[in-house]
Every structure is written in structure tokens, then in C-alpha cells.
Structure 1
Amino acid sequence: MKKLFTLVFLIWIFPLIAQKNIKIRHLNGKTIDSQILQQRLSRLVDSAKIAGLQVAIVNQNKVIYSASFGYKDIENKKKLNDSTVMYAASLTKPVSTYIFMRLVEKGIFSLDQPVYKYLKKPIGEYTKWKDLAEDPGAFKLITPRMLLSHTSGMPVLRSLYGNKVNLIAKPGEKFYYSNEGINFLGFMIEEYTGKKLEDIAREEVFEPLQMRHTDMIWQSKFEDNFSNAYFKDGKKYGSERRESSRAAGSMSTTANDYANFMINLMKEKGLSDKAYLEMLKPQIMIKSKRGFGPLKDSITNENDVINLAWGLGVGLFRSPFGKAFFHTGHGEANQNYTVAFPESGIAVIILSNSENFEKNNRQILKLCIGDTYSPLKWLGHLDKLQE
């Protein structure tokens, strides 16, 4: 009995001992001990008043470290943990892109077939999208490739344009990050296949990649362990509970689950070489000073040094450690970021339930993987330091 107890104790304690000895490799080849990283991230979360943070770090295409900091429910002092479901916001977009590319590979869609050819009715007969009928010639030029590379000319959000979704640029000419464009892609997928996007996502992504805490819409099982979100002044926003799929940003997930998806992309699994070549090659070079807001129309060459571009569903840049792909996720109070360096086998996934995350992202990326190359200025994260 004593030997059995000793064995059970060792099985229980060994993972804790092993965790203490993890060396996390940074991009430059140097390492940081996981305990030191844990301490530094914990201090940063506290000092920066970040409500809660989930982090998953990938080395050699495997999750080598995952941890959670802060609270999922500040009022009731409930700690965030690695299984706490977070709102993914625009981290949904790469997943929706992967889904679409899977359907392309099955011969259901084509990247360059005009989107109107996949619709059952003229665009003006769809209440949500009827504004696109005001310029039928331009609308008929839009392809899925344009939607996925944010070159369709559709606005970021209709609410910023008098609640209309008119084109703000000629299709194929300019990069304008567009939630509306990706949501239209999701609508097109559902319209043409006759299936709900959440069902397709489970079949094509979540179940094969064992993303057990992830879904396109809110699930009752999430009630056991979900996160509230908080504004920068500490006021509670609450939790996002999307009841219908939106390809641009309805997903809920965890950092560990999303790491499974990122590793899949890094290893180029689930799609053909040709499909990954399309996803991860520049579809358009980015010349704007910012990805969003009033500076989106200001032109600069400052990002040429990193070859900042957009592929299909992900942003792209070049670093001293090879090509990288990234995406941000920005909700009312939830703020997220992920970046991968496939040639190094290194990535980090960061989910937060706090409006105070983005202005501290630079420090967090440097601590986690030594990333000082992500285009945070273009994303507007560094602007927040001036607030």
C-alpha cells in the first residue's frame, strides 16, 4: 500500500517538477526558464492592470508552455485558468479562411470565381447586403480571394459608414481590413452549401484538431468556465455569447486550443502545398501607416523593411528568423494576438479579457519568445502607449 501511495504521489508531482525545468527558446536561440517567465508575466499583468491573460508558447511546433494569469471574474475573485473559454474576436478570421480553403480543395469553391455566382438570388434581394447592389458592376468583380486578402473594397464595419455596406474602393485595388468582407464570405459559404458555418467549423477544424473548448457560437458547456472582459478603467464589460456564426469574429476558444490550430498551419497540415502557398504568400503589399482608423489612408514606406503584406486570412512579414504570419483579435474589451515563425518552429498565442492588453503586448511578446518584429505600430498597439 505504501509503494502504491508513493507511485501515485510521484505520478502527481512529476509534471510539477518537470514544469520547473522547462527552458523556453526565443527566436534568437537564447532561452528563458519557465519559472522566471511565469514570475515576470505575473508581475506585468498586475502592474499593467490586465484583468486576465492566457498564454501558450510553441517551440519546435509543440506547446512547450501554457499559463494563465489574473481573473476571469474579478468581482468574485475567480482565477483564470488554461481551460477558461475566451472570446477570440478576429482570431476567428484565420480559422474561417482555413475552412474556406478546405472547401476549395474539395472542389466546392474557387478563389477566383466571382462571389455573385455562388448566390441563389441577386445581391439586392438580401436585406443585409442590398447596399452592394448600388454598384452592380463593381460588386460582380469581387472574388473570395479579394475577401480573404481584404482587397474587396468593403468597409471594416458598416456602423462606421452610416450603417451601410457600400464599397469604399474598387475591388482588387486597395487593402482595407474588412470585417464585413469576411462575414460576407461566411454568408456565402452557408448560402451555397446549405450548412451552418458552426457545423462546418466543427467538421473541418475543431474536431480534427481536438479543439474541445472552441466553437463558432456560444455553447452551454462554456458556462462552467468562461471569462468576463473588463475595460481599461476596470469596469466590467461581460462575456461575448454569440448565438449565430460570424466568419469575422464569433468564435470562443482557449490559448491551448488555438495553439493546435496555429501548429497545424505552421506544419502546413490539412491542406495541399498549393493551398498553403496561396495562403502564406503576399496577395497585396501593405503601404498604409495603420491597419485601422483614420491613418489607414496615409501612405508610408516604413514597413517595406519587413515586407508587410496580407496573404489569405493572415498578415505576413519578414524577420531575421524567416517569414512570419500573424493576426490580432480586438473586441469591446477582449484583446488578443498571435504570431508564428514557421522556419523556427516558434509561435505564441495570447488571449486577454482586458482593454489594457494591447499597450503591453510589446513587452509580453519580448518576454515570451523574444519577438520585437511584429508590426505593432501598424496595428496601433504602440499608439495606446500615448493614451
Structure 2
Amino acid sequence: MKKIGKLLLLLIPFFAVEQATAQAGLIEKLDGSKIGEREIDSTVKSLMSRAEIPGMGLAILNNKKKVFLKTYGFKDRSGGKLLDTTSILYAASFSKAVCGFLCMRLVENKILDLDKPLHHYLKKPIAEYENFSELRNDDRWQKITARMCLSHTTGFPNLKWFDPTAADPEFDSLGVVKIYFEPGTKYAYSGEAFKLLQVALEDITGKPFDELAVEYVFKPAGMNRSGYVWHDNFGDDLAIGHNEKGQQDIKRKRTVAVAGGSMVTTIEDYTRFIEYVVRGKGIRKATFDEMIRPQIRIYSQTQFPPITQATTHENDDIQLSYGLGWGLMQTPYGRAFFKEGSDDAWKNYNINFIDRGISIIIMTNSVNGSMIFKDLLEKLIGDTFTPWKWEGYYPVGYEGISPK
């Protein structure tokens, strides 16, 4: 018996090593094939080098659970400081996905009605809200609902400072919010819509937006280093963005929330959020299904400029659509929902194949980040469905495109 016991003690470390290797090293793709951690590392480092990307956070979920979480490169290239999983990153429009989930929680708590015109929630006439003062002479805004804001069908521009119909618009210092088409009739990406939604949510609840996010999303999901404003406990582990001129872009520590774009988070925290969502936490199944149900089909040739007459059927095979806070598509592996996050020094992407339980989250601190999304998605999880042309995710070298 003593010999058997000694043999078992010798075998335990062997099995533990094998189990740890399997957990850390074998990631399942959509088609059921596997990829090892070394191959992931090699692929990521090669692509980052080619696109001149300083830092990146990467997470992959299998069976709706995190199986891979790692950072690469620098949070501050000039200072030689390495990025880690708790470094604060600018989430950009990942903010809208979190806002969408927050709204579904408010719906379940009977605080928000998706189809009730938002003007019923406002405490003041629309013209008394500075951002929307020019709508005083356009009654169409009274038709706008939370559902329209979340599905990008309000008719508002993306950012009032830029002409939403121009391919390369100039900055307009006198930018005003206008309605460009009948609300509810077509898709056109709009950050300004989320500003109206935020005003309504704050008026309904009497709470600042960031406080709502902490209460309904960040705290339940265990996101302790995330906020729409800067929290005192974030410390100094802050990643720095790098723009097209190679210059550093240090995000200011916001004191006022912007529902559609001010969120900061970490790759670790945002992975917690995605895991929370795909595992059906926080909201009932029926509410989740409504969140990722197609609200509007998308036929535009590109996502930006957001308001254009040009159409295409190139994405018909995936039934490209928008839900409530998320882009949607259908694939041979079932439903998928996705969200981008982007500005001139940060590029982020997340897609969730909910019926296969596979997700990927990519966060970069470089304007060149989107140049590697197509290859990362294909090589790491076998995603050949993301509409990369529509999103403008042209790889390095595609038709002469290269890092600036």
C-alpha cells in the first residue's frame, strides 16, 4: 500500500502539469480545431510588429468561460513600460455595449420602456438641453425611443462636429445635432443618440450615468477597474494611446460621463463583462434574446460615413443587422454579436459566437490596431465572417495600405 501511495504522489504532479497545459495551451476555434498558446503568441507578435502596434490585450472564451487572457507589448512605448492585464485602457465605443446591457437591466426593473418616446422621461423641454437646442424646430425628435438610440436608427449624426454624409469630413467648431432622416427608418451609427439616451436615463433615475453603470453593471460583473469617469482607486497603471503620427495620446481623467464613449477599463475587466453577459447573468433569457434580436438590417456599404445613400448586398450572407447596443450577424455556427471601440489612438474589437460559446476580445493602444483584426480573428478563432470591409478593418498591405 505504501508503494502504491508513493506512486500516486509521483503521478499527481504529472497530471497537474498536463491539466494546466491543456487549460492554458489548447484553445478551441469555431470549427472545433485547436490552437496552442505558443502559436497564439507567435501570431500576435508577428502581426503587432508588422502593423507597428505598441501594446495589445487579448482574451478568448471557450464554452462561455475565459480560457486565455494575456497582454503584449507596451502601455507606454517611449517609457518602456509593459502593458499588463490590469492596465487602464480607453474603451471608446465599447461604452455603448455596456450602456446597452445597462438599459436591458433597467427594462427588467421596469424603470425604462424601450418604446416609450424619450421626451416623456425628460424633465425639461429639449431646447433647454444645450446639446439638443437646435431641435426646437424639428418635431421628429419626439418620436425617438431608447430602442432607436440603441439600434442606431434615430437619424442623428455620429458626432455633431463632423458632417455624417462626408467621407472625410472637416471639423465643425459650431457643430449642432440635426436629424438627417425619419427616425426608425434606417441604420446610421450615432454617438449623439447615446447622449440623448443618457440624459433620459439620468432624468428618470436622478442618478449620474456612471453611478448607474457601477450599480447595474460594473459591481455585479466584478469590474473594479472600470468607469465612465475616472475613479480614485484606479491608481497610475494607465496605458497611453499612439496616434497616426506616432505621437502619444494621454486620455484625460474624465469627471463627466459620456454614455457612448468615455468608459475606461482593463482587458481583465472587460473580459469579466463579456463572460457575465454570455453566461446569461444579470438579465433573463428573454431579455437577453431581445438585446441580440435584429432590430434593423444593414445595407450600407461602410459603417463610416454613417449616413450615406450607397448600399450593398455584400453582407446579406451574414444578415448583418443591429440589435440593442450590439452589431449582429448569422453564421454557420449560429448567432454572433459584436462591438467595436475606436478613436484616433485606440482600436478595440469584441465578437461573441453565442451558440458556440466562443468569444474574443482585442484591445490595442494604437490607431493601427484594426489593421490586424482580420488576421487575428481568422487565425485565432476561425472567424471569417466579421464584415471587415464594412468596418474598415483593412489589413496591413491590403491594396497598398500600410501603417502611417
Q: Shift of the alpha carbon at 1:14? A: 6.8
Q: Shift of the alpha carbon at 1:188? A: 1.2
Q: Specify the alignment match of 1:289 in structure 2.
A: 301
How high is the sequence identity, in percent, across the aligned residues?
35
Q: Specify the alignment match of 1:204 in structure 2.
A: 216
Q: Shift of the alpha carbon at 1:16? A: 12
SS at match of 1:160: coil
- Where does 1:101-250 land on structure 2 (aligned, <5 Å)? 101-136=104-139, 138-161=140-163, 162=172, 163-250=175-262
Q: Shift of the alpha carbon at 1:132? A: 1.9
- Where does 1:359-370 land on structure 2 (aligned, <5 Å)? 359-370=371-382
Aligned Cα root-mean-square deviation (Å):
2.0
> Which of 33, 41, 44 is residue 30 of structure 1 equivalent to?
33
SS at match of 1:213: coil
Q: Is the Cα contact below 8 Å between 1:134 and 1:166 reproduced in 2?
A: no
Q: Is the Cα contact below 8 Å between 1:153 and 1:171 reproduced in 2?
A: yes
Q: Shift of the alpha carbon at 1:294? A: 7.0
- CA deviations on 1:349-370 (whole Å, 9 max, x unpaired) are 0000001111111111122211
Cα distance change, pair 309–238 in 1 and its aligned pair in 2 (3 A): same
Cα distance change, pair 333–277 in 1 and its aligned pair in 2 (3 A): same
Q: Is the Cα contact below 8 Å between 2:244 and 2:344 reproduced in 1?
A: no
Q: Is the Cα contact below 8 Å between 1:20 and 1:35 reproduced in 2?
A: no
Structure-2 separation of matches of 1:353 and 1:298: 32
Which sections of structure 1, spanning at least 5 residues, go unmatched? 1-9
Structure-1 separation of matches of 2:234 and 2:145: 36
Structure-2 separation of matches of 1:216 and 1:350: 20
Q: Shift of the alpha carbon at 1:129? A: 1.2
> Which of 356, 375, 380 is residue 368 of structure 2 equivalent to?
356
Cα distance change, pair 344–204 in 1 and its aligned pair in 2 (3 A): same
In the alignment, structure 1 residue 78 sits paired with structure 2 residue 81: yes
Q: Shift of the alpha carbon at 1:381? A: 1.2
Letter in 2 for 1:324: A
Q: Is the Cα contact below 8 Å between 1:283 and 1:311 reproduced in 2?
A: yes
Cα distance change, pair 274–20 in 1 and its aligned pair in 2 (3 A): closer
Question: Aligned residues, how many?
Answer: 375
Q: Is the Cα contact below 8 Å between 2:74 and 2:81 reproduced in 1?
A: yes
Q: Shift of the alpha carbon at 1:264? A: 2.3
Structure-2 separation of matches of 1:89 and 1:249: 5
TM-score (structure 2 length as normaliser): 0.88
In the alignment, structure 1 residue 61 sits paired with structure 2 residue 64: yes
Structure-1 separation of matches of 2:87 and 2:114: 36
Structure-2 separation of matches of 1:63 and 1:20: 10
TM-score (structure 1 length as normaliser): 0.92
SS at match of 2:375: helix
Which sections of structure 2, spanning at least 5 residues, go unmatched? 1-12, 164-171
Q: Shift of the alpha carbon at 1:187? A: 1.6
Q: Shift of the alpha carbon at 1:18? A: 3.8
SS at match of 2:303: coil
